[in-house]
Amino acid sequence: MFEKLKDIESKYAEVEKALGDATQVSNQQRLMELSKMHAELSPIVSTYQEYQQLESEIEETHALSETETDDEMVELAQEELESLTAQKEELTEALKLLLIPKDPNDEKNVIIEIRAGTGGEEASLFAAELFRMYARFAERQNWKIELLNSNATGLKGFKEVVFSITGAGAYSRLKYEGGIHRVQRIPATEASGRIHTSAATVAVLPEAEELDMAIDEATELRIDTYRSSGPGGQSVNTTDSAIRITHLPTGLIVTCQDEKSQHKNRSKAMKILRARLQERKQAELNKERAQTRRSMVGSGDRSEKIRTYNFPQSRVTDHRIQFSSYQLDAVLDGDLGAFIDRLTTVDQAEKLKES
């Protein structure tokens, strides 16, 4: 580990030198690359330098305790050694975490797709509550949310809702939310007062840029327009503004009808398509690397039951980490920090074991 840290420290020095070289930073693309590299290496190098400083202090304090003849001074030196050693252990663990390979998607924006599962209208209402939960979480982070496509029901639920969240580190915080979310409660439509279990699936996709996922629109896409409609079949508008894009090589189909502008619907549909194509590409890579065990919480598999929202007990349980919160109302209002922090910690621990 320390050999690797020395290499990183040398690389960091090279990057700092390059940033001070006018011939290198005159190129905008090169400047962006250097700045990004500097930002990535900086926390590792500063922690490593703090560790080195601490080692020097430990050596000096240990030498003092060996040569000092005054009992009181020796005792103080021993206490100082214990404190410094504890700090050294903490920094060692911090360095291990900093050296875990970063997910290249962590800093990207996300596209979240929520679909009602088993449970009929109750599942659609739950899908709408999950949408509001993520919207409120995004507001708490000062992130921007944009509705991309939706299929609403007559009771203010969603059969499907697709939206993007734009903000620093959005994917890194939300990537563990993919999977099946269950709700246990008495539905408003239930006359007998029985508790029902319904479900919705959540998919969290890193937003793909055009450079990440190049598409030859002339040969790979079929784009159809049609008249959009709302719940119950009523017309949303009287022009053919809704868009259906079919990706011919894969058969993936994306529709978007929320905007009255055909151009805006097309732009949103392309954003969803790129994200889905990138997800498919990543799934193929994961399959190729199947011999390497994936982290328990990092798969984002939408077929995996990850969380239950139990209304009678006001309890939310994440089944991957066996953690429960009895603050159901707060969680549904976007207070997801306790879950996300624990999931991140467990994921990091799993990756440390693998490395």
Q: Which two tokens mark 17? A: 């030198």
What region does 169 belong to: left with phi over 0, alpha with psi -120 to 50, or beta?
left
Type of residue found at 249: P
The tens digit of pLDDT for each residue in 151-167 reads: 998 888 999 999 999 99
**CA 167 → CA 172, 264, 310, distances in Å?**
11, 21, 30
Biggest CA-to-CA distance, the chain: 94
Q: What pLDDT was estimated at residue 134?
A: 98
Task: Summarize pLDDT for 317-333 with one digit per residue, the tens.
Answer: 999 999 999 999 999 99
Sheet with strand 221-226: strands edge to edge: 221-226, 242-247, 252-256
Summarize pLDDT for 268-279 with one digit per residue, the tens: 998 899 888 888
Question: What is the C-alpha separation between 150 and 131, in angstroms, rounded?
Answer: 11
Over residues 239-249, the pLDDT tens digits come to 678 899 999 99
**Phi, psi of 189, rounded to the nearest 5 degrees:** -90, 0
* Global confidence as pTM: 0.70
Per-residue model confidence (pLDDT) at position 310 = 96
Q: Which pLDDT does position 232 carry in this prediction? A: 43
Give the separation between CA 152 and CA 69, rounded to whole angstroms.
Answer: 81
Going by pLDDT thresholds of 50, 70 and 90, the confidence category of residue 34 is confident
3-state secondary structure of 16: helix
Per the listing, tokens 């490593």 go with: 48
pLDDT confidence bin for 286, thresholds 50/70/90: low
Question: pLDDT band at residue 294, thresholds of 50, 70 and 90?
Answer: very low
In the numeric block, which tokens belong to residue 84? 């410094």
**Structure tokens belonging to residue 65:** 């305790």
